């Protein structure tokens, strides 16, 4: 029977620690001098539960972790971090190697002032740098520390810092890595001549690679990044319109008798034959329709497009009710095909079938068609799936979306990874990359998706010079296609690869000493990991409960039960004030970690923000909707893109869509229908605006004035290209844009209400900081010679000199990467915005943004079912397809997977705390509508029963506190 832990109310027992095995170990030539090996084989003794730090060493053959039995070999001799060291066990097949941790002759490396690596970290960091190393360990065990120590070791062994690439997921984490490596290098008094290893996010690195080499994958121009949700929706809108056009073209063919039988009105799932209606029509089919129309009715398509709707036939064939907001707007836009269809239908009254609307929302399982389709697309693309992997209907949508991106020379985050993968398929690029970065280190390895995994393999599979660090308990990006178990399995398989010239012997290591938190927090993390996350078949044996340092002060974990979210906010903010006033900690030592910052229109941390504001405590909000994600910022970003490239229809559409004054749907339709004088040749939306601004009666007079103002602004800014430096140009644009869009600018000729907002929200400070970073970072700059004189950028020239289109474009890419990456940019707020020390602020953050970070005190609000964990919603078609595929291996259901991921999120949130952890449970939903929407209220399933006994009164304003003295016991 499973023994209960103290947290679960089990009896307290002294831990039964084993004595250390006094045997020495060696693994690498470098380590040989320090560790003398002695192997012994003792399979029978190996099955004991392990709480040791473990190194599993694999030799050249295909293997799985099941080939190994993790042993319990060390003493867990407890000591303080500065003097402490631990023993490690290493297995070669079933042979155990242990090291003597009593030999004090050589102390492990001092990595920074007052901090020494423990023996295992030290040993692992020094393992052969030319062989694969995988470190799998729980939160706070020093994975990142060990990764950085390994970088230092590489440099110490003569590796050039510039040939080391350290890669992670978020800009914040990349910054943290850089800072740590710099600190450790300084502590080791390393003189690298100012050269630092290259620490980057996957996406920044990929975009840099694309900027330098896009021509090699057949692109004429360097693609721009479409990163914001609003942009994706704009692309989707065009894609859906494309689908409608194709369906209508099929009807037109039917009406003209070009195809036999009835036209195909709807593409049903599984109807293979229905697929052709979605193929790109800007080809022979279109030409055939145009020619047949001319022959039969003696009218050209241009003439039809120019006709007023009444002449073409007033039939509304697309029902708008069933479209979501975005899709409906797409349906509103009159396309030439629709004009043509309406014309033909009017001519043949009674002979045409209605075009049935496509029920996108129904097909993609949700109410809002736009967001349902986007969530399908995100999932499918992050997995690297192709349209052919899906049934015809989903395939058509995916295909149309990708085609639309391509048409506008845009890429999204997944395309970035895909293109980088394609580029690494080009031998000369691969060679250059391999020569440039001889060593690759990957943090948060569990979060790689298949495209990222493939990049990693391509870069280092030949050499095995890779170090990966991960924790399957912290895998929280499945929604973006992360394939945690697959990643670890691939790494294991990688120990031997038939394609490599020499066999690659790799090592898999684990750490079990938690240095971050005290035992109550570590215990709670262990329980959540064990009970809710599910056993990993692959890594189960390596998974051992973490242990806290016995020297860490023990503070109980607090669980508060509040009547309402008002009471919760009051409790949390009072405690924060108390902590700061006591002088024990600074504001920066405190975080409020919320599952999300927006739940529909509700902001779970809104009242806490208000409370902090009232109490005069400055804070920063990370994740969710930061100011850089604001509509105003996205508009400004779109403006930069239009200045850099007037053919960028998506950016133009973003400016037009909601923001430009006096442009209602009717004007937009007319604008869309504008044709160039030269006939059928498609022209950009911007060119249409120029025409509409000049020609009379295309759009209404006020709309024409707004368009003229918009076109003049863009042309005016473009005139400064080649004259003003980038900084000056962007600043001028920003000032003019802000002046135009400020609430007070009542007479603004261009921008309507949607673009307006109060104040600048400190936006310029952020744009400015990004500008500086961009100009200081040569890797973000565009290629030396683009080959196209208008975009040519000589890297030897001063990037602060006259700005080119290419430079402006690259900057907008950088702004995109930062403003729309998951983390966004934080905004410091406080009483009257008077925040003295921007670093000494309380952090309010999402769990995703809290990953990899730590605070002395952590508050987790709204720890109730359906909010944390989030309620499971309907299945995504992308999941359905994968589940079908994987039925044979009995994958957990999407629902099960969802709650496991939520459990991992809870694990991440809990394990960020060093000293104080305060979990808040509500007695009622914050908003009345949630009751209907979410069902009965219960405490979060991740709260162990002992912390929330059913018999307790429902409303306890301060709740009870539970904790235990680690020194007296802990075992499970």
Ligand X SMILES: Nc1ncnc2c1ncn2[C@@H]1O[C@H](COP(=O)(O)OP(=O)(O)OP(=O)(O)O)[C@@H](O)[C@H]1O
DSSP string, 607-628: HHHHHHHHTT--EEEESSS-GG
Q: Least distance to ligand X from the beta carbon of 117, Å?
A: 5
Cα atoms in the Cβ-side hemisphere of radius 13 Å centred on 621: 22
At 27, list the tokens. 């693994």
Between 517 and 605, whose beta carbon lies closer to ligand X?
517
- Minimum Å gap between C-beta 81 and ligand X is 3
Contact of 315 with 340, CB cutoff 8 Å:
no
Decide whether 445 or 811 has the Cβ nearer to ligand X. 445
Provide the token pair at 232.
């994706």
Dig out the tokens for 638 from the structure.
């779109």
Task: Please list, in sequence order, all residues whose beta carbon lies within 8 angstroms of the beta carbon of residue 485, skipping any fewer than 6 positions away.
Answer: 472, 536, 537, 538, 539
Q: Which is nearer to ligand X, 121 or 876 (CB)?
A: 121
The C-alpha atoms of residue 952 and residue 345 are separated, in whole angstroms, by 71
What is the rounded distance in angstroms from the CA atom of residue 918 to the CA atom of residue 560? 7
Q: Which of 732, 729, 737, 731 is nearest to 803 (CA)?
A: 729
Q: Which is nearer to ligand X, 143 or 595 (CB)?
A: 143
Structural tokens at position 76: 């867990």
Residue 137 marked ligand-binding: yes
Taking the CA atoms of 792, 794, 799 and 801 in sequence, report the sign of the dihedral they define: negative
Q: Which is nearer to ligand X, 81 or 365 (CB)?
A: 81
Three-state DSSP at 495 gives coil
Contact 373, 337 (CB under 8 A): no
Alpha helices in 742-873 (DSSP H): 763-776, 805-820, 847-850
Whose Cβ is closer to ligand X: residue 511's or residue 663's?
511
Could you tell me which residues are beta bridge partners of residue 510? 54
Nearer to ligand X, 358 or 549 (CB): 549
Measured between alpha carbons, how far is 691 from 697 in angstroms, rounded to an integer?
11
Q: Could you tell me the CA-to-CA distances from 307 to 334, 343, 680, 694 in Å, in that order?
A: 12, 9, 15, 19
Minimum distance between the CB of residue 438 and ligand X, rounded to whole angstroms? 24
Structure-block tokens of residue 529: 């990991």
Q: Residue 963: left if φ>0, alpha if ψ -120 to 50, beta else—which one? A: beta
To ligand X, the closest distance from the beta carbon of 120 in angstroms equals 9
Q: 660 with 751: CB under 8 angstroms?
A: yes
Choose between 141 and 339: whose C-beta lies nearer to ligand X.
Answer: 141
Do residues 687 and 646 lie in contact, with contact meaning Cβ atoms separated by under 8 Å?
Answer: yes
> Is there a binding annotation on residue 218?
no
Q: Is 959 annotated for ligand binding?
A: no
d(CA 383, CA 394): 15
- Any binding-site annotation on 140? yes
Please state, as a whole number, how many other Cβ atoms lie within 10 Å of the Cβ of residue 298: 8
User: Token pair of 871, please?
Assistant: 């309620």
Is 139 labeled as ligand-binding? Answer: yes
Please report how close the Cβ of residue 852 comes to ligand X at its closest, in angstroms: 4
Nearest-approach distance from CB 172 to ligand X, in angstroms: 12
Q: Is 647 helix (H, G, I), strand (E, B) or coil?
A: coil
d(CA 255, CA 257): 5
Whose Cβ is closer to ligand X: residue 142's or residue 197's?
142
759 among annotated binding-site residues: no
Residue with smaller CB distance to ligand X, 474 or 812: 474
What's 90's DSSP letter?
Answer: E
Q: Is 754 helix (H, G, I), strand (E, B) or coil?
A: helix
- Find, among 678, 674, 680, 670, the residue nearest to 294 by Cα: 680
* Degrees, nearest 5: CA angle 477-478-483: 105
Task: Give the shortest CB-511-to-ligand X separation in angstroms.
Answer: 7
Q: To the nearest whole angstrom, how small is the minimum distance from the Cβ of residue 914 to ligand X?
A: 8
Smallest separation, CB 907 to ligand X (Å): 9
Nearest Cα residue to 864 out of 926, 953, 946 = 926
Find the helix packing angle between 427-436 and 450-460, rounded to 10°: 80
Q: How far is the CB of 478 from ligand X (least distance, A)?
A: 17
Nearer to ligand X, 553 or 949 (CB): 553
Whose Cβ is closer to ligand X: residue 171's or residue 562's? 171
* Min dist. Cβ of residue 940 to ligand X (A): 20
Find out whether 709 is annotated in a ligand binding site: no
Least distance from ligand X to the Cβ atom of residue 356, Å: 52
Does 300 belong to an annotated binding site?
no
Q: Closest approach of Cβ 80 to ligand X, in Å? A: 8
Q: Which is nearer to ligand X, 118 or 414 (CB)?
A: 118
CB of 526 to ligand X, least distance (A): 13
Contact footprint for ligand X (CB under 6 A) = 81, 115, 117-118, 121, 137, 139-145, 471, 474, 515-516, 852, 854, 911
Nearer to ligand X, 197 or 384 (CB): 197
Q: Which two tokens stand for residue 346?
A: 């009017």
The token duo for 170 is 């978020």
Tell me which residue has tokens 């400070």. 765
Annotated binding-site residues read 137-144
Which segments are annotated as binding site for ATP?
A: 137-144
């Amino acid at each position: 029977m499973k023994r209960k832990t103290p947290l679960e109310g089990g009896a307290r027992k002294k831990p039964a620690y084993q004595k250390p095995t006094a045997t020495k170990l060696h693994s690498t030539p470098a380590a040989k001098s320090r560790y003398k090996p002695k192997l012994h084989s003792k399979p029978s003794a190996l099955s004991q539960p392990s709480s040791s730090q473990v190194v599993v060493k694999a030799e050249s053959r295909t293997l799985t972790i099941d080939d190994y039995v993790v042993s319990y070999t060390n003493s867990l001799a407890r000591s303080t971090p500065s003097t402490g060291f631990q023993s490690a066990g290493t297995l070669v097949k079933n042979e155990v190697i242990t090291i003597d941790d009593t030999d004090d002759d050589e102390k492990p490396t001092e990595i920074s002032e007052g901090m020494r690596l423990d023996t295992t970290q030290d040993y692992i960091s020094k393992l052969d740098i030319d062989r694969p190393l995988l470190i799998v360990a729980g939160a706070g065990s020093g994975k990142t520390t060990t990764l950085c120590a390994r970088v230092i070791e590489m440099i110490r062994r003569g590796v050039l810092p510039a040939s080391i690439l350290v890669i992670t997921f978020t800009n914040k984490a990349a910054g943290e890595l850089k800072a740590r490596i710099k600190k450790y290098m300084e502590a080791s008094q390393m003189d690298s001549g100012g050269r630092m290893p290259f620490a980057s996010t996957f996406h920044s690195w990929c975009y840099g690679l694309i900027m330098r080499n896009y021509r090699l994958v057949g692109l004429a121009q360097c693609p721009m990044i479409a990163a914001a949700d609003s942009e994706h929706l704009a692309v989707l809108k065009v894609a859906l319109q494309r689908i409608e056009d194709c369906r209508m073209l099929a009807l037109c063919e039917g009406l003209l008798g070009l195809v036999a039988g009835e036209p195909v009105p709807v593409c049903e799932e599984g109807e293979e034959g229905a697929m052709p209606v979605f193929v790109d029509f800007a080809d022979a089919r279109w030409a055939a329709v145009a020619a047949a129309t001319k022959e039969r009715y003696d009218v050209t398509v241009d003439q039809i497009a120019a006709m007023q709707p009444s002449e073409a036939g007033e039939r509304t064939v697309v029902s708008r009710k069933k479209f979501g907001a975005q899709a409906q707007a797409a349906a509103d836009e009159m396309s030439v095909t629709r004009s043509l269809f309406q014309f033909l239908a009017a001519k043949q009254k009674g002979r045409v079938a209605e075009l049935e609307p496509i029920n996108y929302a129904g097909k993609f399982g949700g109410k809002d068609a736009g967001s349902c389709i986007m969530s399908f697309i995100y999932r499918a693309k992050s997995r690297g799936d192709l349209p052919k992997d899906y049934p015809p209907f989903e395939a058509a949508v995916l295909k149309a979306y990708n085609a639309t991106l391509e048409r506008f020379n845009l890429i999204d985050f997944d395309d970035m990874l895909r293109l980088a993968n394609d580029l690494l398929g080009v031998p000369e690029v691969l060679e250059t990359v391999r020569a440039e970065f001889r060593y690759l280190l990957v943090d948060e390895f569990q979060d790689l998706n298949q495209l990222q995994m493939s990049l990693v393999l391509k870069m280092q599979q030949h050499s095995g010079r890779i170090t990966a660090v991960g924790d399957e308990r912290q895998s929280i990006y499945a929604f973006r296609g992360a394939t945690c178990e697959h990643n670890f399995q691939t790494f294991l398989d990688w120990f031997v690869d038939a394609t490599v010239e020499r066999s690659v012997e790799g090592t898999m290591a684990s750490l079990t000493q938690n240095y971050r938190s005290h035992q109550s927090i570590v215990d709670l993390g262990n329980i959540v990991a064990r009970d809710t996350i599910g056993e990993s078949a692959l890594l189960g044996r390596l998974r051992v409960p973490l242990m806290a340092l016995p020297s860490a002060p023990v503070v109980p974990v607090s669980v508060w039960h509040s009547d309402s979210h008002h009471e919760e906010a009051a409790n949390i903010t009072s405690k924060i004030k108390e902590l700061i006033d006591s002088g024990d900690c600074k504001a920066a030592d405190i975080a409020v970690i919320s599952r999300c910052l927006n739940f529909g229109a509700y902001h779970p941390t809104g009242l806490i923000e208000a409370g902090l504001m009232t109490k005069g405590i400055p804070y920063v909000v990370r994740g969710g909707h930061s100011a850089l994600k604001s509509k105003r910022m996205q508009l400004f970003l779109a403006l930069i893109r239009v200045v850099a490239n007037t053919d960028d229809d998506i950016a133009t559409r973003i400016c037009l869509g909601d923001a430009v004054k006096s442009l209602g749907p009717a004007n937009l339709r007319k604008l869309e229908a504008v044709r160039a004088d030269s006939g059928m040749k498609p022209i950009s939306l911007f060119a249409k605006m120029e025409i509409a601004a000049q020609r009379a009666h295309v759009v209404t007079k006020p709309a024409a004035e707004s368009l003229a103002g918009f076109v003049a602004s863009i042309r005016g800014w473009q005139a400064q290209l080649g004259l003003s430096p980038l900084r000056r140009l962007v600043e001028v644009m920003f000032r003019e844009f802000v002046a135009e869009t400020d609430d007070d600018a009542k007479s603004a000729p261009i921008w309507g209400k949607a673009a307006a907002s109060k104040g600048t929200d400190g936006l310029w400070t952020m744009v400015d900081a990004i500008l500086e970073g961009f100009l200081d970072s040569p890797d973000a700059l565009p290629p030396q010679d683009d080959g196209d004189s208008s975009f040519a950028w000589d890297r030897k020239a001063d990037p602060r000199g006259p700005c080119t289109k290419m430079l402006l474009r690259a900057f907008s890419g950088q702004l995109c990467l930062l403003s729309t990456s998951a983390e966004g940019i934080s905004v410091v707020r406080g009483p009257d915005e008077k925040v003295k020390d921007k670093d000494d602020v309380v952090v309010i953050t999402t769990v995703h943004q809290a990953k990899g970070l730590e605070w002395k005190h952590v508050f987790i609000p709204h720890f109730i079912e359906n909010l944390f964990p989030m309620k499971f919603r309907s299945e995504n078609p992308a999941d359905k397809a994968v589940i079908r595929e994987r039925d044979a291996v009995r994958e957990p259901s999407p629902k099960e997977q969802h709650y496991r991921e939520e459990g991992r999120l809870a694990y991440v949130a809990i394990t960020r705390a060093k000293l104080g952890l305060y979990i808040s449970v509500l007695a009622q939903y914050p908003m009345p509508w949630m009751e209907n929407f979410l069902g009965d209220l219960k405490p979060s399933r991740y709260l162990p029963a002992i912390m929330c006994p059913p018999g307790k009164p429902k409303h306890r304003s301060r709740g009870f506190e539970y904790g235990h003295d680690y020194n007296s016991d802990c075992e499970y």
